[in-house]
Amino acid sequence: GWEVGGKRKRPGDGSPGSASGSPSPEPSDDDWLPIQLTADHTCYNAAEAGRLLSISPACIRKASNSCGIKRVGGSLAVTRALGDAYLKHRPLSFQSYASVAGCVTAEPEVKSHALPEGVVCLVLASDGVWEHTDPHVLSRSMKDRGATASVVVDVAMESVARVRGLDVEDLRKLKQGRGRRGKH
């Protein structure tokens, strides 16, 4: 999902246009609250699972090599994607996935949100970040280290390294490809 983390400025906190002209107090952890703006499009989302099962009961299978995570056809974790045509169109599918062709869609879920006054950052990230990163940990890290894209990457890498029992630098050194993807 897309999440927003930011300091909410309260009336009288010294921010421009506030009642007092005094400097803003140092933000507390309570000031940096993540808000989920979209739903995750996975087999664990009840609406997405219902959509898939209406197409075919074979759409949702647990992957044998991913700790039994529910995936589309046992292959893809997300149910909406720009690529992965083999799960969208039978003529582009492999024989082992032909029965689940049509389960993945590229149709986006479109929402509009008015961001509350005082929100200082908006984090748009892929499922790979949100699968491994606790939004509250990310918000605290952005408060402490700065609200930058590199902090998002660092926090996600730290989380994956911790879960996999690896050093972050060892994780970064893995060559791109199947071996690296298997770690996160």
DSSP-assigned letters across all residues of 98-122: GGGTTS-B-PPP----PPPTT---E
Hey, what are 91's tokens? 């003529």
Please indicate whether residue 1 or residue 144 has the higher confidence score (pLDDT).
144
Percent of the chain with pLDDT over 70: 77
How far apart, in whole angstroms, are the C-alpha atoms of residue 165 and residue 90? 40
Q: Kindly report the pTM of this predicted structure.
A: 0.66
The answer for residues whose C-beta is within 8 angstroms of residue 143's C-beta and 6 or more apart is: 7, 27, 29, 31, 32
At 172, give phi and psi (nearest 5°): -65, -30
In the predicted model, what is the mean pLDDT of the chain? Answer: 79
How far apart, in whole angstroms, are the C-alpha atoms of residue 115 and residue 13? 19
Question: What is the average per-residue pLDDT within 145-174?
Answer: 89
